[in-house]
Each structure stands twice: as structure tokens, then as C-alpha cells.
Structure 1
Amino acid sequence: MRRILRCVYNPFHAAQRVFRPSRPDLVEDTTVRKLQLWRTALGVVAWGLLTYTYSTISDAGAAASDRFNQSWISVLVLICTFPVVVGVFVTSARGQLRRLYLRRALRPLGAIVALMASMSTFPLAMAPESQGVRDFIGLPGKIALGIACFWSLGFAVYGIGLALVHVFRTADIHELVPPVLATTLVCEMAILDVVNGAYAQVPPLARAAFVLGAPVSVTALSCWEIYRLRSRHGLTMRRALRPE
């Protein structure tokens, strides 16, 4: 009961409970977790340096907004990629493992639903199309909606960061799913950056380095993570998909 009340009052604690993997038999490798955090932090620092170098102070707010939008787009792409990668993984499994992974996929799916539900409070509270709903619920309803919107802001912003670091807690399905899904995500985002002409104000060489930096670094980290899980913990794709 105390945990539930803490989640109600603290959106950041609720986000930790929702977006961090928590399977009882989950293999915890502190080195891998630290590198995942460093990967995210270095990405933010690299973006900040790029923005500081090639942007003016007047458009710093717009740049920050673009960064948040890019993070949200990454989450949306991850949501679309999630059923494909997880579906291939589950379908490739044999015997009772397939049913086991399907049950484990409920928690990552629940994290996706929770994030989308929290984001839905903002258009409900501010969109002109929702004015009829706000008029119907009256002043008490508007106050409750404002509180829910304020709570959802902390939950969603912190949740987006945790969702990207922990790849929507897909380690709850199997430890090998996050590195595969993360690699797929960054490659898709790089393709979107090229198609959309992102960082157009940046010189071509720096732009190429920035666009390719994430796929190269994340792929290298994911390969190293898979190698470490195999060498240190005996986790291989064959064992993950074939019952012993």
C-alpha cells in the first residue's frame, strides 16, 4: 500500500516502477547498465555541444524543443518497432519458451500503454478540440485534469528517458532483446534524420559524424553487451530460443 501511495504522490518513482525491468531472475550486469547510462549522457552532451556551436542564443529554446521532440519521435519509433522485433523473437522461440516470452511481454506492453496514457492528458487539457469535454466536467474536473496533467508531465519526461535507456524494459522478456531492439532503433532514427534533412545548419562533415555516431556507437555497445552476456552469464540466442 505504501508503494502505491508513493507512486501516486511521486511521478518519478512511478516512472521507475513502470519503465525499469524488474524480473526476479533478471541477470544484472552493473558494467552494462553503467555503459547504457553513459551512452545516453554522452548523447545529450554531444547534442548540447553541437547546438552551442552551430546555434545562436536566440534559438536555444527552439533547439531544446527540437531535442525533446526528437526524443519523443524516438519513443514513437521504438513503439512501432517493438512488436516487430519482439514478434520475431517470440515466434522464433520453441515449445514452452514461446508462451513464457508472451507472458513476459505484458510488462513492456504495459509500459508503452502507460506512457501513451500519460501523454494523452495534455491534448485533453489544452487542445481546442477538447474544449467541449472541459466545459462538460466543469471547474472541479478542470482542476483534477490540471493536477493529472502536471503529474503526467514529470512521469512522461522521466519515463521517456528511462524508456530509451532500458528500451521499454524489454529485458523482462529476455536479456538479449534490448541490445537488438536498441540497434534497430538507432538505425531507423539515422535513416529518418537523413530523409528529413536533420541538422541542416551543420557543416556536411560534422553532420555525417553526428548522424552516424549513434548507430555506430550503439551497435558497437550492443555487440559488446551480447558478447558479455554470453561470456559472463552463458546467455546465447540459441539457448534463448531453444528449450534445453
Structure 2
Amino acid sequence: MSHGGHGPYGPQPPQPPPYPPYVPYPPPHMPLWRRFREDEWPTLREVLRSASQIHGCLWLFALCCFGPTVVGLLICYPLARSARTHARRIFPPGAHLRVHFPDVVRIQKARAWVALAATFALLVAYATPDDWDQAMRQFALRMAITPWLLLLSAPLVITVIIRLAAPTARAGMRARLRPSLRSALWYCGAFAATPALFAGGLYVNYELYEGPLAPFVAIVLVLPALWVGLFVAFASPTVVRSAFHTAPVHAALPALLTGVLVWEFAAISLAVGGLPPGPTFLALLAAVGGPATVSALAWWEIHRLRTWHGVRLRA
């Protein structure tokens, strides 16, 4: 006899599923130092919680000897974290790459470190104090003109690539230029706003306000300029590598622009500061070897794009 259609033995209890429900594993704990490199920076509270494990005597020594520096870092850290978060949101690292070659990236990084070590060794061996000053000025000049040089060079290279492409592909390539234009406007606007905000804050503080709180007012007015400057600093590596996000237009454009820029920098360095210090052979090798190796790596990347993925300059 059935009971309500539940079988001869009354209502049956619900049967357990054949397998336990899927419970995803929690994400592995990432060390703090790796978060500074790869992930979103930890909050100030997390940093202080980690720093609390340091012995109190070391904290006392740091505060006594470097008190203003430690306090300044604690104040500026949230500002730098916010600027980095927004820079990575607007210019995502790696999002510009249509095709990623890990071995090419590793060799590019190794080449950069070798070039830096060779330049430093050359300066240590042969440079005078004036040569060190000249090297620092050239570094500052390169940092200042990189965005504008890229902004001037990119349209020329893009125009050549579009002219080389098939007529049926040109309309699509032009349509994919819009993200590049937005990226360029964001970056160049922030780059130009940094000195403007800094100068405006100083002008308001020293020309329009001379009260007893002038130092604190100056700090408050300079904070926006500092935030924008940090935003530019964190966005610059991605902007330079991606050439204003031009890979969607043509996968070979970042490599081509890198090869063009490095020779432009070499010409500007020779025009401004002349050959590096040292014997003529080493000076010529340092002046030409850097751009030549960067161009060789860029051409190797273009060759990989052509042979592995069929990307051609005239495609």
C-alpha cells in the first residue's frame, strides 16, 4: 500500500547527491612583496600590520633617525596606491598585447638590465663628474620628451602601416584607432597637468595667501599635482610598451614604434651630449649597440608574428 504516492514505505528522505557539492578552494595567499609587483597594492592597514612584526627597537631607531621620511612615506603611501590603482585601471598592463611571447619578453628584460649594467660600468670606468651630470640630464630629458616624441612618431608610423595595408582593411584599422586616441589624450593630459597643478599650487600659496598656515596650505595644494605625477609614473611603462594601445590597429605596431623611438633617442642623445665617455671604439659601441639590439629584438618579434600567426605588414 502506498502512502501518498511515495512508495510502500512512506515518504522517502531526500537522497544525497552522488558527489559532495563543489567548494572552490580559496585563492592562495600571496606574499606582500609579490602584491607590490603583480597585484593591487595592500592597504596601509595591511602594511602596518605586517610592519608590526618588526622589533620595536628598529622602529624607534627609524623614527629617531629618519622620522620625517617615515612620516612622509606613511602619508604618501595611500596617495601612491590610489594613483597606481587608477593607472592600472585606465592602462591595464598586458591588455594591449594581441599576441604574447613570454620568451621575447624575458630576453627584452635581460637586454635592458645588461644595457643598464654596461652603461654604469662605462661611467664608473671613464666618466668625470661632468659626464655624470650629463648622464643625469640626459635621463631627465628622456623622461620628459618620451610621451611627446611617441605622440609625434606614432601617427607617422601608423599612417605608413595603414597605407601599406590592403584597401579593404584600411577602414577597420582606422576604426580601431579610437582607443589609441583616448589613451593618448588621457596620458598627455595628465603629463601636461602635473607641472600646471604644481605651479598653480605654489602660486596660490606664495602670491595669494601669506598667513601662518602657509606651509600646510602649500602641502594641501601640491597633493593633487603629486597624485597626477604618480599616476603618470605608474602609467608610463605600459604606455611606452603599448605605444598608446596601438596593437589592435596592427599587431606589429608596438614593436615598430619601439624600433623607431630608440633611434630617435640615440640621435637626440648624440646631438645633446655627444658620445659616451671612454675610448672611441667603446663609445661608438655604446651609442649604436643599444639601439641596434632593441631593433633586432623588435624585428625578431615581428618575425615571430609573421611565421607563427601570419601577421604581415601589408596585411
Return the TM-score normalized by structure 2. Answer: 0.60
Q: CA deviation at 1:129?
A: 11
Residue 10 of structure 1 aligns to a residue whose secondary structure is helix
Quick one: distance in 1 between partners of 2:134 and 2:269? 18
Deviation at 1:169, TM superposition (A): 2.9
Displacement, 1:221?
Answer: 0.8
Q: Quick one: percent identity of the two aligned structures? A: 23
2:95 paired residue number = 22
Q: Distance in 1 between matches of 2:149 and 2:183?
A: 15
Where does residue 119 of structure 2 map in the other structure? 47
Q: Quote the offset at 1:217 in angstroms.
A: 0.3
Higher relative contact order (CA 8 A, sep 6+): 1
CA distance in 1, matches of 2:240, 2:231: 14
2:272 matches 1:196? yes
Give, in angstroms, the shift of residue 85 of structure 1.
Answer: 0.4
- What is the CA–CA distance in structure 2 between the aligned matches of 1:202 and 1:57, rounded to whole Å? 14
Distance 1:132 1:55, change over 3 A: same
The 2-side partners of 1:8 and 1:74 are apart by 22
Q: CA deviation at 1:72?
A: 3.0
In 1, the alpha carbon distance for the partners of 2:209 and 2:177 equals 36
1:8-30 Cα distance to aligned partner (Å, 9 max, x none): 9532233334164526x922222
Change (3 A) 1:162 1:44: farther
| More helix, by proportion | 1
Larger gyration radius, structure 1 or structure 2:
2
Q: State the 1:212 CA deviation.
A: 0.2
**1:81 shift after superposition:** 0.6
Quote the offset at 1:187 in angstroms: 1.8
Change (3 A) 1:49 1:11: farther
CA distance in 1, matches of 2:278, 2:92: 34
Tell me what 1:84 maps to.
Answer: 156
Quote how far apart the aligned CAs of 1:83 are: 0.7
Aligned mate of 2:307, from 219, 231, 239: 231
In the alignment, which residue of structure 1 is the partner of 2:53?
A: none
Tell me if the contact between 1:40 and 1:165 (Cα under 8 Å) persists in the aligned partners.
Answer: no
1:120 aligned residue = 192
- How many angstroms apart in 2 are the aligned matches of 1:122 and 1:80? 20
The corresponding residue for 1:215 is 291
Q: Do 1:183 and 1:218's aligned partners in 2 also have CA atoms closer than 8 Å? A: yes
The answer to whether structure 1 residue 164 and structure 2 residue 249 are counterparts is no
Q: How many pairs align?
A: 234
Distance 1:141 1:129, change over 3 A: closer
- Distance (whole Å) between structure 2 residues aligned to residue 164 and residue 174 of structure 1: 16
Whether contact under 8 Å (2:161, 2:313) holds in the other structure is no
Q: CA deviation at 1:233?
A: 1.7
- Please report how far the alpha carbon of residue 151 of structure 1 lies from its aligned counterpart in structure 2 after TM superposition: 1.6
Counterparts of 2:231 and 2:164 in 1: how far apart (Å)? Answer: 34
Cα 1:105–1:26, aligned 2, differ >3 Å: closer, same or farther?
A: same
Contact 1:90 1:98 in 2 (8 A): yes
Q: How far 1:31 moved relative to its partner?
A: 2.0
Provide the residue aligned with 2:140 in structure 1: 68
CA distance, structure 2, for counterparts of residue 27 and residue 112 of structure 1: 22
SS of residue paired to 1:170? coil
Provide the C-alpha distance between the structure 2 equivalents of 1:67 and 1:59, rounded to a whole number of angstroms.
Answer: 12
For residues 204 and 129 of structure 1, the distance between their equivalents in structure 2, rounded to whole angstroms, comes to: 48
**Alignment check: 8 A CA contact 1:111 1:168 kept:** yes
Partner of 1:151: 227
Specify the alignment match of 1:242 in structure 2: none
Cα 1:191–1:222 change in 2 (3 A) is: same
CA-to-partner distance for each residue in 1:144-190, whole Å, 9 max, x for gaps?
Answer: 65222222222222333333333333223221112221111112222
Q: Give TM-score, length-normalised by structure 1.
A: 0.75
Q: Which runs of 5+ in 2 are unaligned?
A: 1-39, 41-77
Task: Check 1:74–1:46 CA distance in 2 against 1; reply closer, same or farther (3 A cut).
Answer: farther
- Which one-letter code corresponds to 2:95 in the other structure? S
Q: For structure 1, which runs of at least 5 residues remain unmatched after alignment? A: 240-244
Contact 1:27 1:175 in 2 (8 A): yes
Counterpart contact for 1:176–1:226, Cα < 8 Å:
yes
**2 CA distance for matches of 1:155 and 1:94?**
39
